[in-house]
Amino acid sequence: MEMVNVKINNIPLKIEKGTKILEAAKNINIDIPHLCYHPDQSIKAHCRICTVEVVGSRRLLAACSTEVWEGMEIHTDTKLVRDTQVGILELILATHEQNCLTCSRNQNCDLQKLCSRFNVLNSNLPDVTEHLPIHNTNPSIIRDPAKCVKCGRCIKACKEVQGISALTYAGRSDKIAVTTAYNKPMEETDCILCGQCSVVCPTGAIVEKDDTQKVLDVLQNPKKHVIVQVAPSVRVALGDAFGLPKGTIVTGQMVTALKMLGFDRVFDTNFGADLTIMEEGSELLSRIKNNGTLPMITSCSSGWVNYMEKNYGDYLEHLSSTKSPQQIFGAISKTYYPEQSGIDVNDIVTVSIMPCTAKKFEAARPEHGRNGHQDVDIVLTTRELTKLIKYVGLNFASLPEGQFDSPLGSGTGAAIIFGNTGGVMEAALRTVYEKYTGKELKSVEFQEVRGLEGIRESIIDLGNTKIKVAIAHTIASAKIIMEKIKAGTCDYTFIEIMACPGGCIGGGGQPIKSTTDVKHLRMDALYDIDKNNPLRKSHENPDIIRIYKDFLGEPLSEKSHILLHTEYHKVKKTHDFSYLKTEEISSI
């Protein structure tokens, strides 16, 4: 490793060659202001707010993109630097909708923080904000162009992480906009509603569709029996917003908070996840035995399902027909639960807390309902739950630890790891191994399917046969596998795919600043919960055993098929080219 000597504000520093100035400054605890820079993305150098003075350089240099060199002398706080940074901030503010008090990102906005940091009190510049229409026609994501600072983070997330590029720059100069092709609504583009754009947006330009008021309304309605399920990855991310160290497990506080919010029952999506494993594992075994379509691909990630439906409509039979844990829970909450509890199904409202924006869309799919109501009525993201907890004024970190309610509140270690990329695979293998071999699986941890590489594969020994499995996260990685399947060169039997980087712990509904470092901590936390759970295999969950005995019968039974399985539809992608004046073009 080649090291160079630099000076930042006269403080000498020895640092690896090739380090960018912005990163180097962190080593001496200087935070150079930035907006377009994001630690998980390639460098853009668009916002220019990170400019610094470098001795000998004619102009200011962008700290995010400029590598240090031997003998470099950097100044981050000269008058010129400060004037430039404040000037750029003023320019951005002049074009920014400043309704901060009513903005979804109030107190959690990078632009707001910079204004506070630089004490921007007033600006002489005229307001040039363009009040373009807000894009809010889908159930997951809202885009407000008037709050966009054109940093390009969302574009990078969509392009580099997902390989989708639903969002892009259009136009130029002060008419440049971050938008979709032909400015179509998100749902009419290649967008899968994964929400990765909303996690990286520095302002409130892209946010989840806020359904907190809906929840407050039903909670305040005494006629309604409101139950809630919480996805596994929420409990290792929720603490972020309450000043707890990243990756803190807050299951108990979260349950207490939900009860204090007024939910009648607090249940666990882990129950749904364990049921998913029972069904999906059986489905896999059935496909292997009966020469069904292989490889079978998981379908828990609703962003991933959206992607398949829009892009690989001819390969939908590869998707497991088993519903996602959210929807399995939803179906049970509107059938088994009323039967068990004696509560009228018409009075039950099922709320989900999900790390995901696409889950809002999934819950609204017509196939996920019966008798005129949806299985899951309202979906909140982790970020929205944070708001609700703040709304009722709970001192979250100090809350006593509560327990999930019975009977839909239990889950095994296999279910909790659904939140990590590779977790569904590992959970499935724990059950499939025992079901297939009839032997006890002694070592339940499949280390080779864990980790954060885009694609991981492993060969699993099932006694008389070996199966090859693969795990992919992010759509960019998933595409590679799908192209293999398309080309007929794929020899996997079972594939787990999650749309978001890291799986649900890195979901599009998770707290802002869910960077890779943070994802590692959340992953470890989920594996810890699994480790400390005496039950680590889905088929050992006594409540799962009971529901099959009392209600469902066997996995893949007729009832299971009706309630726990679904089908997928090819979505036609249409692009309207009618606005093109083809006659004029051909005459040129």
Partner 1 sequence: MSKTVSFITKNFGKYDVSSIGSYMECGGFDALKKAITLSGEEIAGIVAAAKIKGRGGAGYDMGRKLAQAKSVIAEKKVVICNADEGEPCTFKDRMLLENDPFNLIESMIITGYTVDAEDGYIYLREEYCHLRPLLLNAIRQAKTYGFLGTNILGKGFNFEIHLYSGAGAYVCGEGTALIESIEGKAGRPRMKPPFIKQCGLYNRPTCVNNVESLSLLSHILLDEDKEYQTYGMGDSIGTKLISVAGNVKHPGVFEIPFGTTVREIVYDLAGGIDGDRPIRLLQFGGASGKIASSKILDTPYTYEDLKRSGVTVGSGAILVIDDRTSLIEFLQSTQEFFSHESCGQCTPCREGNRHMKLFLQKLADGTHTDKDIKSMKKIAKLMAMSSLCGLGETAQSALVSAMNQFEDVFHVKSSEVQE
Catalytic residue numbers read: 280, 283, 300, 320, 359, 362, 367, 504
Beta bridge partners of residue 379, listed in sequence order: 352
- How far apart (Å, rounded) are the C-alpha atoms in residues 470 and 422? 9
Q: Closest approach of Cβ 93 to partner 1, in Å?
A: 10
The window from 44-52, 245-253, 520-528, 534-542 that contacts partner 1 (CB under 8 A) reads: 44-52
C-beta of 119 vs 173, nearer to partner 1 = 173
* Residue 443 interacting with partner 1 (CB under 8 A): no
Size of the site for partner 1 (CB under 8 A): 37
Between 127 and 339, CB nearer to partner 1: 127
515 belongs to the binding site for partner 1 (CB under 8 A): no
What is the residue-wise DSSP string for 480-498? HHHHHHHHT----SEEEEE
What type of residue sits at position 297? I
* Edge-to-edge order in the sheet of strand 51-54: 11-16, 3-8, 73-75, 51-54, 61-62
In the complex, minimum distance from the CB of residue 130 to partner 1, in angstroms, rounded to a whole number = 11
| 95 is a site residue for partner 1 (CB under 8 A) | yes
Does 176 help bind partner 1 (rule: CB under 8 A)? yes
Is residue 459 close enough to count as binding partner 1 by CB under 8 A? Answer: no
Closest C-alpha among 512, 511, 509, 506 to residue 201? 512
Of the candidates 389, 397, 430, 421, the one whose C-alpha atom is nearest the C-alpha of residue 537 is 430
- For residues 156 to 175, the per-residue mask of contacts with partner 1, x marking binding by CB under 8 A and - elsewhere, is -------------x-xxxxx
Question: Distance between CA 531 and CA 538 in Å, rounded?
Answer: 14
65 versus 136: smaller Cβ distance to partner 1? 65
Q: How far is the CB of 1 from partner 1 (least distance, A)?
A: 20
- Is 70 a binding residue for partner 1 by CB under 8 A? The answer is no
Q: Are 341 and 350 in contact (CB under 8 A)?
A: no
d(CA 118, CA 85): 9
| 181 belongs to the binding site for partner 1 (CB under 8 A) | no
Closest C-alpha among 52, 17, 7 to residue 32: 52
SS (H, E, C) 172-224: CHHHCEEECHHHCCHHHCCCCCCCHHHHHCCCCCEEECCCHHHHHHHHCCCCC
Q: Which is nearer to partner 1, 130 or 344 (CB)?
A: 130
**Are the CB atoms for 392 and 260 separated by under 8 Å?**
yes
Q: Which stretch binds partner 1 (CB under 8 A): 86-94, 187-195, 275-283, 489-497?
A: 86-94
The verdict on 249 binding partner 1 (CB under 8 A) reads no
Q: What DSSP assignment string belongs to 291-316? A: T-SSSEE----HHHHHHHHHH-GGGG
Span near partner 1 by CB under 8 A; candidates 92-100, 108-116, 291-299, 358-366: 92-100
Q: How far apart are CA 120 and CA 89, in angstroms?
A: 8
Q: Does 91 bind partner 1 (CB under 8 A)?
A: yes
Q: Is 398 in the site for partner 1 (CB under 8 A)?
A: no
**Which range in 37-45, 256-264, 340-348, 440-448 contacts partner 1 by CB under 8 A?**
37-45
132 binds partner 1 (CB under 8 A): no
Assess 83 for contact with partner 1 (CB under 8 A). Answer: yes
Which of 22, 25, 38, 66: binder of partner 1 (CB under 8 A)?
66
Binding test (CB under 8 A) with partner 1, winner from 9, 27, 84, 346: 84
| CB-based burial, 43-73: b 16+ in 10 Å, e otherwise | ebbbbbbbbbbbeeeeebbbbbbbebeeebe
Among 145, 152, 325, 509, binds partner 1 (CB under 8 A): 152
The type of residue at 232 is P
The least CB distance from residue 165 to partner 1, in Å, is: 12
CB of 530 to partner 1, least distance (A): 43
Kindly report the backbone phi and psi dihedral angles of residue 333, in degrees, each rounded to the nearest multiple of 5, phi listed first: -65, -20
Q: Express the helix, strand and coil content of the chain in percent, nearest 5 each.
A: 40, 15, 45
CB of 196 to partner 1, least distance (A): 21
* 71 near partner 1 (CB under 8 A): no
Q: Residue 166 Cβ, how far from partner 1 at the closest point, in Å?
A: 17
For position 48 contacting partner 1 by CB under 8 A, the verdict is yes
Give least dist CB 425 to partner 1, A.
36
* Tokens read off for 5: 């000597």
- Report if residue 391 touches partner 1, rule: CB under 8 A: no
Judged by beta carbon, residue 172 or residue 572, the one nearer partner 1 is 172
- Is residue 63 within 8 A of residue 76, CB to CB? The reply is yes
Quick one: which of 44, 235, 519, 522 contacts partner 1 (CB under 8 A)? 44
**C-alpha span between 153 and 42 (Å, rounded):** 9
Nearer to partner 1, 149 or 525 (CB): 149
Binding residues (CB under 8 A) for partner 1: these are 43-49, 51, 59-60, 62, 65-67, 80, 83-84, 87-88, 91-92, 94-95, 124-126, 128, 149-150, 152, 169, 171-176
